[in-house]
Structure 1
Amino acid sequence: MSEGLHTHAPHEEAVHEAAESHNPKKHSLYQWVAIFTALLATIGAIVSYQGTHLMNEVLLAKNEAVLEKAKATDQWNYYQAISTKEHLMDLAVAMTPTSKNAPFQKKIAKYKQQKKEVQLQAEHLDQLSNSANQHSAQLDKPHNDMAIAMIFLQIAISLASVTALTGRTWLFGMAILSAIGGIGLWGMALSLA
């Protein structure tokens, strides 16, 4: 056997080069894009869950505001009904002689007392409704920020996908900037929630 030059067939060289390019110690752009995309998808899932949870809280607070407003409206309607009765008693006093209007005066006093109590209840329910509305509005701001954060994360994932197809590193840079923007908005939303 002679010792000489050893050559590989062309397909063996291609296999050898492919094996070297997929060396686990050397990370290619495609590996970074894959890792980046997986991380963003995970963060996006968390942001989406938190946004949905926050939106449920917004809706619950808004529902509470509507419920309290309906109760307050009922109380104000009751107040109006008592006022109508009181006015009828005033009319009865005006139409009867002074000696016979004592029962009407008694009812007028009763209606005035009832109106005070009903008015206090109605005002309290109005305050509860306003408070629930304010709480809903406070929760809606971070929810909106989370929705915008999710848009930035989705743009970053899209840019990373195009990077994997084209191999353009500047697109990957844009994806990273978009991801940073999305994560920053998410952090701001968490601080407000």
Structure 2
Amino acid sequence: MSSGGFHVHGPHDHAVEHATHGHDAAHHGADHGGGSSTNKIAMFTAIVATVGAIFAYMGGATQANAGLMKNDAAIKKTEASNQWNYFQSKSTKQSLAELARDLTPAETEKAKYQAKIDRYEKEKNEIKTVAEKLEADAHAFDQQSEAQMHQHHRWAQATTALQVAIALAAIALLTKKKWLEYGMYGVAAVGLGVGALAFLHI
């Protein structure tokens, strides 16, 4: 199902057209109950189409948000990887400095290498802190993206249910079957229920 729009043009036009015919028929001697039912279904269709359009918009918005958050997660992962590469570089330099310290006979040289080793250790700890923070940010963005996609699926399910309800309304107008009218109300209720779940992030 496309999340870019809510395609209800055909069923809604059918509903309005039949509502008009029903209204004319009521004026020409048709029973009052039939005309009232037709108008009621037409009104139902217009309301459900409007709500469905809102649900479709929300579905598209949540899908876009999910994509942006997934992109942010990828950026943070790349930055974290760069930091870990930097950390590895400092570790290599530290190991070389330790080797040089252990091999040199002069105490003054040993002190110089030890100062480098201490500096590399400090820098490594700072880099590690940054890398771990970036990884945590990437994980948080991934979780937010998944939550947005779940919400998007809820909006899509609700939109689909409302589309089915509108189709049932059009058929109910054509066939005058009461059970189809009950069906359209039932399916619309399901759609609104799922929309409520999406709104509540459930």
TM-score when normalising by structure 1: 0.81
1:125 aligns with 2:145: no
Within 5 Å, which residues of 2 pair with 1:32-47? 32-47=40-55
Q: 1:137 aligns with which of 130, 146, 153?
A: 146
Indicate which of 30, 36, 52 corresponds to 2:38.
30
Structure-1 separation of matches of 2:26 and 2:102: 110
More off after superposition, 165-174 vs 132-141: 132-141
1:156 matched residue in structure 2: 165
User: Is 2:112 the counterpart of 1:103?
Assistant: yes
Residue in structure 2 matched with residue 165 of structure 1 by the alignment: 174
Q: Which amino acid in 2 is paired with 1:138? A: A
Distance 1:111 1:18 in 2: 92
Residue by residue, what CA displacement relative to the aligned partner does 1:92-139 show, whole Å, maximum 9, x if unpaired? 233332434333222211111110111111111112222222222333
2:198 is matched by which residue type in structure 1?
A
Give how far 1:73 is off: 1.3
Is the counterpart of residue 185 in structure 1 residue 194 in structure 2? yes
Q: In structure 2, which of residues 89, 93, 110 is the aligned counterpart of residue 81 of structure 1? A: 89
| Displacement after TM superposition at 1:40 (Å) | 1.1
Q: Residue 86 of structure 1 contacts residue 112 of structure 1 at CA under 8 Å; is this kept in 2? A: yes
Q: Is the 8 A contact 2:25 2:35 kept in 1?
A: no
Larger radius of gyration: 1
Please say which of residues 29-38 and 153-162 is displaced more in the overlay. Answer: 29-38
Structure-2 change in CA distance of 1:83 and 1:17 (3 Å): closer
Determine if contact 2:26/2:35 at 8 Å carries over to the other structure.
no
State the AA in 1 paired with 2:135.
D
Matched-pair contact (CA < 8 Å) for 2:157–2:194: yes
Shift of 1:57: 2.1
| Equivalent in the alignment of 2:61 | 53
**What's the counterpart of residue 78 of structure 2?**
70
Give yes or no for contact 1:58–1:140 (8 Å, CA) kept in 2: yes
Please identify, of 136-145 and 177-186, the stretch whose mean Cα deviation from structure 2 is larger: 136-145
> Where does the alignment leave 5 or more consecutive residues of structure 2 unmatched?
1-23
What runs of 5+ residues in structure 1 fail to find an aligned partner?
1-14
Aligned length: 178
Deviations 1:71-91 (A, max 9, x none): 111111110111111112223
1:147-183 Cα shifts (integer Å, max 9, x gaps): 1111111111111122222222211211110000000
- The percentage of aligned residue pairs carrying the same residue is 34
SS at match of 1:21: coil
Greater Cα shift, 114-123 or 29-38: 29-38
Q: Normalised by the size of structure 2, how large is the TM-score?
A: 0.77
Structure 2 residue matching 1:20: 3-state secondary structure: coil
Q: Which moved more, 1:110-119 or 1:31-40?
A: 31-40
